[in-house]
Amino acid sequence: MKIGNHAMLVTGGAGFIGSHLVDRLMDVGCDVIVVDNLSAGRLENLGRWLKNSHFRFVKGELKKPQDAERVIRENVDVVFHFAANPEVRVGETNPKVHFDENLCVTYNLLEAMRSSDSAKIMVFASTSTVYGEAAILPTPEDYGPLIPISTYGASKLGCEALISAYAYTFGLRGLILRFANVVGPRATVGVVLDFIEKLRNNPNQLVILGDGLQKKSYLCIDDCVDAVFCALNAFLDGNNRVDVYNVGSPDQIDVNRIAEIVVQEMNLKDVGFAHSSRVEGGRGWRGDVKFMRLSSEKLRKHGWKPKYKSEEAIRIAARILSKI
């Protein structure tokens, strides 16, 4: 089985990463169904496909088992599960959001797939936050124990466990992709957007959450979608019941440098930086992993290599998003 000429379901397909994935799936000749509740996604992200006979949009609430069953009954071959609440910080004030949007939705989809004759492969958008504060950088896929420090990371790790259990118990297959911080057009959350919005409100001073020394890797959205395709092709060529790939750039950039780049791309001068480091260790918020860098060597062995390093990805995103 190759990716083209097959029916694909993309949950969260109107969102940031999901909509870029839909673009690529349509370009290679797939039939695509998107299900999204539009809480974070935007229908305009899919505008070029809405009248295409090979595309269908379903507004659905996957927290309801009947909605999950309805879209899985569409004879899809692969379920790209990219629906989630994308805001990590919400876990500080409302952890139930991550339980409902991540764990419950994943369970509902897996239950629907268990009864399906065709939907037997799930591609899951996981996250680097499942590692918590890893003692090894760059962090490989087999690092452990996994001790997430946010409810977002915990819920994603729980989803991974559910996918693995359903794969081995009910004959499904699961491809788990642990993404670094993905940036680019259509993003609705993240440090670049946060800085742009703050600078639009006050172009003279930028308040940075944490001490600004948080250092992580950032991935351009185009490189991210390339990685999804590379990993899925490798997965389809193999026999593994479950496989896990890290997806990230090979380097890091700190938040202070990101602030400088955003200021440059907005053509601002004499901006003062202030730091709000009320959280222990200089983190931006409780649950913020201060240092993150993934080892993507496993995926690189299949031919994937990001075109952009972290600073380049941040600059491209800032340039595009600051003009919207």
Nearest-angstrom CA–CA distance, 271 and 245: 40
134 and 237 together in one domain = yes
Residue 265 counted as domain residue: yes
Q: How far apart are the first and last CA of the chain?
A: 39
> pLDDT-based confidence at 321, cuts 50/70/90?
very high
50 and 193 together in one domain = no
Residue 257 counted as domain residue: yes
Residue 146 counted as domain residue: yes
Per DSSP, which regions of the chain are E strands?
7-11, 31-36, 55-59, 78-81, 121-127, 173-179, 181-183, 205-209, 215-216, 218-220, 242-247, 253-254, 272-276, 291-292
> pLDDT-based confidence at 37, cuts 50/70/90?
very high
Question: pLDDT for 138-188, tens place per residue?
Answer: 999 999 999 999 999 999 999 999 999 999 999 999 999 999 999 999 999
Q: What DSSP state is assigned to residue 205?
A: E
Nearest-angstrom CA–CA distance, 278 and 12: 34
45 and 90 together in one domain = yes
pLDDT at 1 over 70: no
Nearest-angstrom CA–CA distance, 21 and 55: 13
93 and 191 together in one domain = no
Nearest-angstrom CA–CA distance, 153 and 147: 9
Residue 271 counted as domain residue: yes
Per DSSP, which regions of 47-105 are E strands?
55-59, 78-81
Identity of the amino acid at 173: R
Nearest-angstrom CA–CA distance, 200 and 203: 6
Nearest-angstrom CA–CA distance, 322 and 73: 41
Number of structural domains (the chain) is: 2
Q: Among 213-222, 225-234, 271-280, which stretch is predicted with the lowest mean pLDDT?
A: 271-280
Tell me the HSE value of 52 on the side-chain side, using a 13 A CA sphere: 20
State residue 2's pLDDT score: 67
The token pair at 275 is: 């730091």
51 and 198 together in one domain = no
Q: What DSSP state is assigned to residue 92?
A: G
100 and 58 together in one domain = yes
Residue 119 counted as domain residue: yes
70 and 202 together in one domain = no
Instruction: Please tell me whether the overall predicted TM-score, pTM, comes out greater than 0.85 for this model.
Output: yes
State residue 133's pLDDT score: 97
Nearest-angstrom CA–CA distance, 127 and 87: 12
125 and 243 together in one domain = yes
Question: pLDDT for 117-148, tens place per residue?
Answer: 999 999 999 999 999 999 999 999 999 999 99
Average confidence (pLDDT) over 30-59: 96
Residue 297 counted as domain residue: no
47 and 111 together in one domain = yes
State residue 87's pLDDT score: 72
91 and 212 together in one domain = no
| Mean pLDDT value across the chain | 95
CATH code at position 237: 3.40.50.720
The token pair at 1 is: 């089985």
231 and 267 together in one domain = no
Question: pLDDT for 82-108, tens place per residue?
Answer: 999 877 767 577 888 888 899 999 999
Residue 303 counted as domain residue: no
Residues forming a β-bridge with 92: none
State residue 277's pLDDT score: 78
State residue 250's pLDDT score: 95
Residue burial 115-126, b: 16+ Cβ < 10 Å; e: rest: ebeebbbbbbbb
Determine contact, residues 174/114, Cβ cutoff 8 Å.
no
CATH code at position 207: 3.90.25.10
Separation in Å, CA 172 to CA 33, 56, 66, 116, 119: 20, 25, 20, 10, 8
Residue 1 counted as domain residue: no
Domain boundary among 230, 247, 264: 247
Residue ranges making up the domain that contains 209: 185-217+251-291+308-321
151 and 85 together in one domain = yes
